[in-house]
Amino acid sequence: MILSNATTRQARSAKRAVLVFLLLCLPVSLTAGIGGGGDENSAPRLTVSGGPEQAHVTSRAIARVAGESTPSRLRAYRAAVERMDRLTRLHARAGRSLARLDSMSDPERRSAYPGGGYDAALAAARATHADLARQLEQAETTRRASLHGLTGGRLLPPGDLAALHRMLGL
């Protein structure tokens, strides 16, 4: 049976998405529960005190397990990418607005701001643009940290990163 090029590409793309998912999930599942020395930094454990009817699970252990699961890491990465995308669009819009204000001629300024206020509008546009640039930088740092936590510090080739984004609907 001969497959078309489009079908072959889709099959390769699906295969790559599965491989990326396994790359991200398998090491976590293989290492889950290893490393329990009983101190604060060891893997969280469920403790039973006084018998099965009095099983007690600390909220700290639940929070650590929930925060370190692969699905929660995937959600955190997706949220970081979405925030960065939103901030990128806002920063670009603020940049266009600032450029428009900066390039206004004197007659345009007088007609757009008949009672004055151009300087205040320009200062506000500059402040907004600078603030969004800082937020965008922080969002990029968060995105990188999320990806680092998701992959365990391993670098993903661009094709695998694209497959991950497709898998997450980004």
Domain boundaries, the chain: 10-25+63-168
pTM of the model: 0.57
* Per-residue pLDDT, 95: 95
* Coil/strand/helix, residue 136: helix
Question: Cα-Cα-Cα-Cα dihedral of 148, 150, 156, 160, to 10°?
Answer: -150
DSSP code at position 116: S
* Per-residue pLDDT, 33: 39
How do residues 22-70 score in pLDDT, each as one tens digit? 555 544 433 343 334 444 444 444 444 444 444 444 444 444 555 567 8
Cβ burial, residue 91 (10 Å; 0-12/13-18/19+)? buried
* Coil/strand/helix, residue 102: helix
User: Mean of the per-residue pLDDT values for the chain?
Assistant: 75
How do residues 73-90 score in pLDDT, each as one tens digit? 889 999 999 999 999 999
